[in-house]
Structure 1
Amino acid sequence: MKKLILIFLASLCMSTQASAAGGGVAWDKFPMAKMTDVAALQNGAKLFVNYCLNCHSAAFMRYNRLRDLNLTEEQIKQNLMFTTEKVGETMKIAMDPKQAKDWFGGTPPDLTVIARSRADIGKGSGADYLYTYLRTYYRDDTKVTGWDNLAFPNVGMPHVLWELQGQRAAKYVEEKDPHGGTETHHRFVGFEQITPGTMTTQQYDDTVADLVAYMQWMGEPAQHHRVRLGVWVLIFLAIFTVIAWRLNAAYWKDVK
């Protein structure tokens, strides 16, 4: 039994190390303050339906759930609904999955829980991954789409936000094997701006953070309510514990 436990722990350690040392760059930290910023979440919803919902669906998310972001049904219908007229419908797309596979080489995944599914023990949360991924695209003419990504090497999706960020090239330096071998490898050292975008670097980072915040929220729209409810439950338990303690003391005070 002890041997089985040791084997399990060793396997877990190796898998964690392998995950941490996997391809791509280290993930940047997503600014979690965006999760409590309603204006940022509203902007993220607008970005999502304009840039993501053309190819990707969110089949487990209903438009009327956006009311939790302080949006009225009229605002949702006028500004965020393009594929249906019923506010109770889910965020599906008109694209045929077979055609999408022919065009892109694979069916674009549903994004409802993408932020929750991309978490990595060795690198960070799914929000960290998405925040890094959407900010590390660069031009690569050897790829079919003309784009590649540091966080997702050989990515099949083109850079849909390139007009906002502009076009960049990745810069690498060639280094010798640090262990004395004859082989060399290329180390990423930064980006070089080829053409400017409509936003500054800081504005683009803030925009991506809004979009990622919405995708994080979309994976569990009730998360804020759950946290608030949890706080009240803990307060109730604390008060009840004090009451129960005093009742217990009063009950047993005359018992010898």
Structure 2
Amino acid sequence: MQTQTDQGVFVPDDKQDYGDDPKAVRNTEHYKNEYVRGFVDKWDELIDWDARAKSEGQFFIDVLKARDKKSVLDVSTGTGFHSVQLLKAGFDVTSADGSAEMLAKAFQNAMDEGLMLKTVHADWRWLNKDVHGKFDAIICLGNSFTHLFEEKDRRRALAEFYAALKHDGVLILDQRNYDTILDDGFSTKHKYYYCGDRVSAEPEYVDDSLARFKYSFPDGSDYHLNMFPIRKDYVRGLLRDVGFQKLHTYGDFMEEGEEKAPDFFVHVAEKTYDG
């Protein structure tokens, strides 16, 4: 099987294509070509569902239940980890992703758990064209937001998220700690997010507008993702600009400051104040 790239070139389903200069690939559209079947099939080796479930615990479930949320739109479904966890916890979940390969894998993973996902193939920038109705909550996890390279795309996506939420809705969005990566270099133990102990995920190249990560698997295969290194305060500013009234940021599921150098930040953005 082959896939057609943005440049009209056909490549094998398990091979990524970054052209002659991988570092020059800095556009939002390219994510569609990054999640090739070979990479998607190995993604769960990186996550390790059991280990990740233990490391996260009830964090996202507790955040949602504390705000009495029931309907959840997972806009970065990936292979389905969070959609499945929330379904098991009793939430009404709709699972969206821009990658058809990821959605297919997520659907199968849920079937293996005896669950049925409601899946929607959707681009965040036109989310409400494909996803209908209003939700209590939206989750955008797995560092997915950093696939957007243009500020106009980031603002458009957040505006679409905001519009898809009910008047008192909440958005939970995470990101890598790019502040530390940009300022001090990369150092992580993948304590919480990427728990597969035989897989490495490290930046191969970083500058102010590109973080190129390399994912190496036990069978010797390597895959890459080109992402935009967004800073924490920049994201918080965007969330406020779009209209979110209340923001709280965690570092690796802990209150900010408790973890000195978190791998990830988790932003909880609410449309309205408590009162």
- The answer to whether TM tops 0.5 is no
Q: Which has more helix, going by share of residues? A: 1
**TM-score, scaled relative to structure 2:** 0.25
Going by fraction, where is strand more abundant, 1 or 2? 2
User: Which protein is bigger by CA-based radius of gyration?
Assistant: 1
